[in-house]
Amino acid sequence: MTQEELAEYSNLSVNYISKVEREKKSKHQY
């Protein structure tokens, strides 16, 4: 993996995790 691929991959992971966290939080509200 190049540095660019690695950076892109970690960005995707972070985005995915924060999306999941948001969904968890919104589910708790209902």
Enter the tokens of residue 4: 């660019």
Tens-digit pLDDT profile for residues 1-30: 799 999 999 999 999 999 999 999 888 765
Whole-number Å distance between alpha carbons of 25 and 22? 5
Domain count, the chain: 1
Q: Which domain holds residue 23?
A: 1-30
Residues 14, 19, 24, 27, Cα dihedral to 10°? 170
Count CA atoms closer than 13 A to 12's CA, side-chain side.
6
pLDDT computed for residue 27 by the predictor: 82
